[in-house]
Chain A
Amino acid sequence: MVNLNTDIAGLHFENPVIPASGTFGFGEDFAPLWDLNRVGGIAVKGTTLEPRYGNPLPRIAECEGGMLNCVGLQNPGIEKVLSEKLPALRSVYKGVILLNISGFSEQEYLSCCEMASQSPDVDAIELNVSCPNVHGGGMAFGTDAKALGLLVAKLRPVCTKPLFVKLSPNVTDIVAVAKAAEEGGADGLVLINTLLGMRININTRKPILSNTTGGLSGDCIFPIALRMVYQVSNACSVPVIGCGGVSSGEQAVEMMMAGARAVQVGSASLRDPWACPRIAQEIADVCIKLKINSISDIWQKTL
């Protein structure tokens, strides 16, 4: 029996699999398919202070080994999320709920953090400073180490829950940004969000996505995510959650060997809605094969 438990920033996860924000809604589309308690944590849909419709269609494009999206943070707004969506999720789910928060200004992030801190259904806050699909949105903070450090430092005192910062890979030096978040007071780091990409329809000579560019995710970004998790785990002392292109237990173990304490699973759930519980089972199978008794043995022996 492999021990899949992992403790991160004072939070207990039954296993290291966490559906990634934006690919899982608030769990309602998956709850009829499998017991949500089969994943250690759930990062819910990116939430903003006000309700948002997001970008016009098309918001989805495909590419070799992955996909692009420019959804643009569609969400019902934090009030409805806290009063309806999270209580509904909590009624069927005992694990760790990470509320992903995004904003267009420091004040919006502050308001959201204050409101989320009051909610018994929020176990941790995942600060989204890396959405590439909204103008003037999170990524402006996530690609500027100094701005990010200041933002996290402002939020840290009002945030009574563990505060994770989800980093953007669209930077030259991921370690500099990670360190800024850590120095600002982040309890943990999640990386990576999507990479900025683009597709053009050669028949119309126009971009496929309504927003011209979109966030690239899927199998093709796995090596990039792995490299960044490795670099940041070695440079920072706060725990790292790996995210990007994970669709199998072997990849999850590989991500933890790079230093991740847990893994988020994103677009894999979109083609296989049972991907998360399958990956949790596969991690146990891979551990048995590799004679690993506890997953803490994986990330503690980093490269």
Chain B
Amino acid sequence: MVNETLTILSNESLARDVRMMRLACALVPEPGQFLQVSVPGGFLRRPFGVADYRDGVLSIIYKIVGKGTEYMSRMQPGQALDVLHYLGNGFRLQPGSKRVCLIGGSVGLAPLLYLARFVKDATVVMGFRSRADVMLREEFEALGCRVTVCTEDGSEGVKGFVTDALPEDMDYYYACGPMPMLRAVCNAAKVEGQLSLEARMGCGFGACVGCSIMTKDGTARVCKEGPVFSSDKLIW
């Protein structure tokens, strides 16, 4: 874990209230890891999953939900961002799996986009509220993924949740999104997978145990032993 000041390269809209920020960064992340961003005026840092990394450019995706992300959305290229990185365990690649599915809800797609660089021929099932929220389709397709879009109101793609569009033949999955979505995926999937959890964190590096959950192996900190957990270890 290091504390660095990174320079913002771009900060652009991806969908309604969602932005992608690109930062110049020498350190290479593992897929599934995250960083803690310090925002002026905020007391605690904000955690964001690594959405992509290539040739010294790190990308994060964030939704404008409060003062901190509101401030971030007004930041300009050339400005500096104070980050702690990289945090968490990341995804463990399963080389034996042939029909892998990446399942993400809205900004939960972020860590799956970087993971898609390491998983060949994946199917992506992405869930959103509505057409205005749909994003990252082209980015996943550019990495060779087949993409199914789901919207809750049916305004684009399959009407319903990601669990309404899971491929019958998938033999492994990686998922990230809000907890109710992850629970539904875990229940609906007939195979094992890995889930990247979200939690309100204090520190992001294990010290405060603010994000501890109970797993079949005992307590685990989402920030340190996670954020990625095997589906068979989680207790819902």
Residues of A within 8 A of B (CB): 22-25, 28-30, 32-33, 45, 53-54, 57-67, 69, 71, 74, 208, 218-219, 267, 269-274
Contacts and interface: CB of A to CB of B under 8 A. Distances in A.
Interface of B: 1, 3, 38, 42-45, 84, 199-203, 205-214, 219, 224
7 contacts: A29-B207, A60-B44, A60-B210, A62-B44, A65-B43, A267-B202, A273-B1
B179 to A, nearest CB: 9
Nearest to A272: B3
A57 B207 contact: no
B38 to A, nearest CB: 7
| 7 closest residue pairs by CB, A with B | A270-B203, A60-B210, A29-B206, A58-B200, A60-B200, A60-B202, A29-B207
Residue of B199, B209, B212 with highest tally of chain A CB at under 10 A: B209
A63 B38 CA distance: 15
Contact of B212 (A24, A74, A271, A274): A74
Contacts of B42: 62
B210 A62 contact: no
Given A23-B208, A65-B43, A273 B84 contact: yes
Interface residues of A: mostly helix, strand, loop or mixed? loop
Contacts of B207: 23-25, 29-30, 269-270, 273
Contact of B43 (A24, A32, A54, A62): A62
Nearest to A22: B208
B208 A61 contact: no
Given A57-B199, A61-B200, A273 B205 contact: yes
Nearest to B36: A271
B209 A71 contact: yes
B203 A53 contact: no
A59 B3 CA distance: 25
Contacts of A274: 3
B212 A53 contact: yes
Contacts of B199: 57-58
A57 B211 contact: yes
A67 B202 contact: yes
Given A270-B208, A273-B1, A57 B44 contact: no
Given A60-B44, A219-B43, A273 B209 contact: no
A33 B84 CA distance: 12
Residue among A53, A62, A71 with the highest chain B CB neighbour number at 10 A:
A62
Given A53-B214, A271-B38, A271-B203, A25 B43 contact: no
